[in-house]
Amino acid sequence: MTGNEAVAFALKQIDPDVIAAYPITPQTDIVQYFSSFVADGAVKTEFVTVESEHSAMSATVGAAAAGARAMTATAANGLALMWEILYIAASNRLPIVMPVVNRALSGPINIHCDHSDTMGARDSGWIQLYSENAQEAYDNMFQALRIAEHPDVLLPVMVCLDGFIISHALENLVVNEDELVKNFIGAYKPQYPLLDVDNPVTVGPIDMYDFYFEHKRQQSEAMKNAQEVILAVAREYEQKTGRSYGLFEEYRMDDAEVAVLVMSSAAGTAKAAVDELREQGHKVGLVKLRVFRPFPHEKLAGALQHLKALAVMDRAESFSTMGGPLFNEVRSALYGAGGGPLVRDFIFGLGGRDIGVAEIVEIFKKTLETAAAGKVDEMVCYLGVRE
């Protein structure tokens, strides 16, 4: 299956009450596959073919508030068009799950992968899970639902997968039995559904300086709670499927002195680079971050503490002039944690620019030099770009 097929298949197995979605490359297949499930009567979902992503998220919010398991899917400009409602979905504490097929945000317009879309939405109050391959995207879908609907969390979740690289590439997939999925996700029991007309609630009132702050504080607390819930859900998922997940994955990190930290599909490539350098006798490793929100700062700092130097790979530019978003979060997690590695940032793959093993080996070499020199000369590098 392709990544998109895997996600669409997960949606079919979840069989949500409502999906409201709008097509955009490279997410389109998901909407198309799902349309045929609906047309063939394979799901019980009400499929709302909205006229825009703004309406997709708006209708999803309406459906979720009504008491339905409601979902949508998007990419890039579609996510940008949803922006306003992303915050509203999160602040209304609606457990919406949304696959986002990562694509560069315009302009210039570009249909290929980078993380500028979801990185821009990092502070919208959504939980963000990143997937290395189609299998992870598929597995993340079910876990996302359980995390979102957990009473200690009640926050929406984005399941991110790399556009084309994952969404359109064929991969062997281990799928779950329908029965297993059904048992794992369970029946949905909404807390204050609009459709309970005998117990009317007002959703989305105006909230001034006397209460707004408390509500935001509760949202922070829910995000904090999410970390433990993500781990608990992963443990349960592993028991049922044998596939293990965490906040991040460590690859050959035990005795590593230099490491790369990256998310999504590039992690697969980076593993090959680690193997190559290990064969040459270099003590290198890899950390693949799965959960960007909530940011697992303490655990991550713990895992990186023993390194001499660390290269963060950012598939998005923040234009802060001090590196990409991932770099800034990682460095800030390390700061004050005591000691820790020298950290460099490598911004790569914007607009779908290819990244191969050779380039990541190059990153390692530069970072090994940093470790040897004991200082960072060049904090932010742009990889594989004509300057």
Which residue in 207, 221, 298, 369 binds other proteins (CB under 8 A)?
207
- Tell me: does residue 84 bind other proteins (CB under 8 A): yes
Question: What is the DSSP-derived secondary structure letter of residue 350?
Answer: G
Q: How far apart are CA 111 and CA 242, in angstroms?
A: 35
Q: How far apart are CA 33 and CA 56, in angstroms?
A: 17
Task: List the x/- string, 20-39, binding to other proteins by CB under 8 A.
Answer: x-------------------
**Nearest distance, CB of residue 212 and other proteins, angstroms:** 8
Closest listed residue to residue 102, CA positions, set 349, 286, 386, 327: 349
Which residue in 4, 60, 102, 367 binds other proteins (CB under 8 A)?
60
Which residue in 88, 175, 232, 357 binds other proteins (CB under 8 A)?
88
- Tell me: does residue 79 bind other proteins (CB under 8 A): no
- Tell me: does residue 219 bind other proteins (CB under 8 A): no
Place of tokens 């303490």: 298
Residues 6+ apart with CB under 8 A from 313: 260, 261, 262, 263, 266, 270, 326, 346, 348, 360, 363
Which residue in 11, 14, 30, 65 binds other proteins (CB under 8 A)?
65
Give 189 or 386: the residue with its C-beta nearer to other proteins. 189
Give 93 or 315: the residue with its C-beta nearer to other proteins. 93
Place of tokens 């702050």: 213
Range 284-343, binding other proteins (CB under 8 A): none
- Using DSSP's 3-state secondary structure scheme, residue 351 falls into helix
- Tell me: does residue 178 bind other proteins (CB under 8 A): no
Contact assessment for residue 11 and residue 70, using Cβ atoms and an 8 Å cutoff: no
Window contacting other proteins (CB under 8 A); options: 30-38, 203-211, 240-248, 257-265: 203-211
Q: How far apart are CA 142 and CA 129, in angstroms?
A: 12
**What's the one-letter identity of residue 111?**
I
Give 84 or 354: the residue with its C-beta nearer to other proteins. 84
Q: Could you tell me the two tokens for 108?
A: 């210039």
User: Residue 70 pairs with which residues in a beta bridge?
Assistant: 18
**Nearest distance, CB of residue 77 and other proteins, angstroms:** 15
Query: Interface with other proteins by CB under 8 A: which residues?
Result: 17-18, 20, 44-46, 48-52, 54-55, 58-68, 70, 84-85, 88, 194-197, 200-208, 211
